[in-house]
Amino acid sequence: MTKFRSPCPIASALDIVGDKWSLVIIRSMVVGATSYSDFLAAPERIATNILAERLQRLEAAGLIAQRRPRKGSIRGSYALTTKGAGLIPVLQELARWGQENIPGRWTPPLRFQDARPADHAIGGAAGEGLRPAEPG
Amino acid sequence: MTKFRSPCPIASALDIVGDKWSLVIIRSMVVGATSYSDFLAAPERIATNILAERLQRLEAAGLIAQRRPRKGSIRGSYALTTKGAGLIPVLQELARWGQENIPGRWTPPLRFQDARPADHAIGGAAGEGLRPAEPG
DNA sequence: ATTTTGTGCTTGCATTTTGCAAGTACAAAA
DNA sequence: TTTTGTACTTGCAAAATGCAAGCACAAAAT
């Protein structure tokens, strides 16, 4: 289990995903990465040992899940859980801040900007497409 | 200067504030901390060498500024710059996620939940009090 | 059927970051 | 003119990260 520095929700959230790589991995998942090699292909060049360890930790923390492959086939693919997808608004705010305050940053793809937690969590509304914000 | 892992705005934002302590320090400032000893008094118990180094880095990165004391008096106090205050929405999303997903977290004070970047940046609308969101 | 390729890791060791305890500088208060 | 408080610095231990290489195992190629 993670040990928390304090009962502060911010400090505690950072105790779970506040290392150098966790949020970068989750970002990759939001834009479509599902396999080990997908994560390695990201431009930040994470080391293989760290990726493997981080995937384990994120799974243990319940932020991602490995979809077990259909009987007797290849390895599973990774997907965000509801808990993990709940971090999408954090990533979107970080992206906004980065774009506004650091010159030369990429503009994230629309599927990132428009991402909603409910559309990314396993068991979520996959395949429903984007709707306008619900009134009320 | 900070070296960036990639031109991704998320990864780059994390290259600036993605260490274990920077966002915790900024959080303390949002809820009122302005001095070295204020930061040390936070429940997370940051080590003094790390605090000193982090304050320097945050100042060098333009996220905080030391207000020079009135002529010939004590040391200056720290305040968020516009750039630093721009991270407030990131902190608020982290706090929301922490509260929703980690049992037993504190509820942040109202002055944190209602904080707006413009009210915290130096040169911002200090002393104006909270207004409802502007229409349009 | 047996090399070859691709994917998903593990291992060993160097480097960097963080943590802990103690000490220092310097102004204000006693 | 000691004492106190604030703001650090220093030295060393521990943990996290980075790098290069190797390994297992399945699928594809020969």
The pLDDT averaged over each successive group of 10 residues in chain B (136 residues) is 93 98 98 96 98 97 83 72 98 98 98 95 54 39
Mention every residue, 6+ apart, whose C-beta is less than 8 A from residue A129: none
Question: Do residues B68 and B76 lie in contact, with contact meaning Cβ atoms separated by under 8 Å?
Answer: yes
- Using 50, 70 and 90 to split pLDDT, how confident is the model at A81? very high
Ranges A3-17, A116-130, B4-18, B42-56: which has the least confidence: A116-130
Whole-number distance in Å between B86 CA and C23 C1' = 38
Mean pLDDT, to the nearest integer, of A65-87? 81
Q: Which residues on adjacent β-strands are paired with residue B80?
A: B64
pLDDT at B2: 84
- In 10 A of CB B136, how many CB atoms? 3
Confidence grade of residue A2 (pLDDT, cut at 50, 70, 90):
confident
Mean per-residue pLDDT, A6-21: 98
* pLDDT score of A1: 77
Q: Does A8 touch chain B (CB under 8 A)?
A: yes
Q: Which of A67, A87, A71 is nearest to A25 (CA)?
A: A87
Cα separation, A106 vs A122, in Å, equals 28
Average model confidence (pLDDT) across chain A: 88
Chain center to CA of B117: 10
pLDDT of residue B130: 41
Q: Is the pLDDT of residue A57 over 50?
A: yes
Q: Do A90 and B83 lie within an 8 Å CB cutoff?
A: no
pLDDT at A53 over 50: yes
- CA A93 – CA B126 distance, rounded (Å): 24
Q: How confident is the model at residue A123, as a pLDDT?
A: 61
Supply the pLDDT for residue A122: 78
Our measurement of the distance from residue A95's CA atom to the centroid of its chain's CA atoms, rounded to an integer in Å, reads: 13
What confidence score (pLDDT) does residue B72 get? 47
Most A CBs within 10 Å, among B26, B50, B94, to test the A interface: B94
pLDDT cut 90: percent of chain A above it: 79
pLDDT at B67: 82
Do residues B25 and B55 touch, judged by C-beta distance below 8 A?
Answer: yes
* Closest residue, chain A, to B4 (C-alpha): A44
* Cα–Cα distance list, B39 to B32, B33, B44, B91, B95 (Å): 10, 6, 9, 17, 19
Number of C-beta neighbours around residue B132 at 10 A: 5
Chain B 39-58, CB below 8 Å of chain A: which residues? 42-45
Instruction: Look at residue A69 in the predicted model and tell me its pLDDT.
Output: 60
Given the structure tokens 């004070």, which residue do they identify? B109
Comparing every residue's Cα with the C1' atom of nucleotide C8, the nearest one is: A36
Taking CB atoms and an 8 Å limit, are B10 and A27 in contact across chains?
A: yes
Q: Which residues contact A39 (CB under 8 A, 6 or more apart)?
A: A25, A28, A33, A46, A51, A55
